[in-house]
Amino acid sequence: DAGVIQSPRHEVTEMGQEVTLRCKPISGHDYLFWYRQTMMRGLELLIYFNNNVPIDDSGMPEDRFSAKMPNASFSTLKIQPSEPRDSAVYFCASSFGRQGTDTQYFGPGTRLTVL
């Protein structure tokens, strides 16, 4: 199994530009999660999907952030326009099965730097 795949691994952009982060979950998993990690705020859950449907987006910081999951094997997290304070490592994770007992498996992350 290839695990959770994220692209790009590194992204450097300028303030005001649109950024799109991509995630391919583990095949067969029905939950997908987007997290952000910073030194100041630690690991934060942004949004999660079940069967491609957004379930909880209460962690999305503001309207500049949006996430989609058009099918079971692909999700995007978009920031438009980007700001320097969005600089962080963004992780995607996926899991399968029974609520509350399923283990989340994380991708390697995308390190975003907004200049």
Residues that bind another protein (CB under 8 A): 4, 31, 33, 42-43, 45, 48, 50, 55-56, 91, 93, 95, 99-109
Comparing CB distances to another protein, the nearer of 48 and 65 is: 48
Minimal distance in Å, beta carbon 70 to another protein? 21
Please tell me the distance from the alpha carbon of residue 81 to that of residue 73, in angstroms, as a whole number.
26
In sequence order, what DSSP letters do the residues of 11-32 get, joined into one string?
Answer: EEE-TT--EEEEEEPPTT--EE
Residue 16 near residue 8, CB atoms below 8 Å: no
Taking the CA atoms of residue 78, residue 62, residue 70 and residue 33 in that order, the dihedral angle to the nearest 10 degrees is 90
Minimal distance in Å, beta carbon 111 to another protein? 8
Minimal distance in Å, beta carbon 7 to another protein? 13
Comparing CB distances to another protein, the nearer of 29 and 114 is: 29
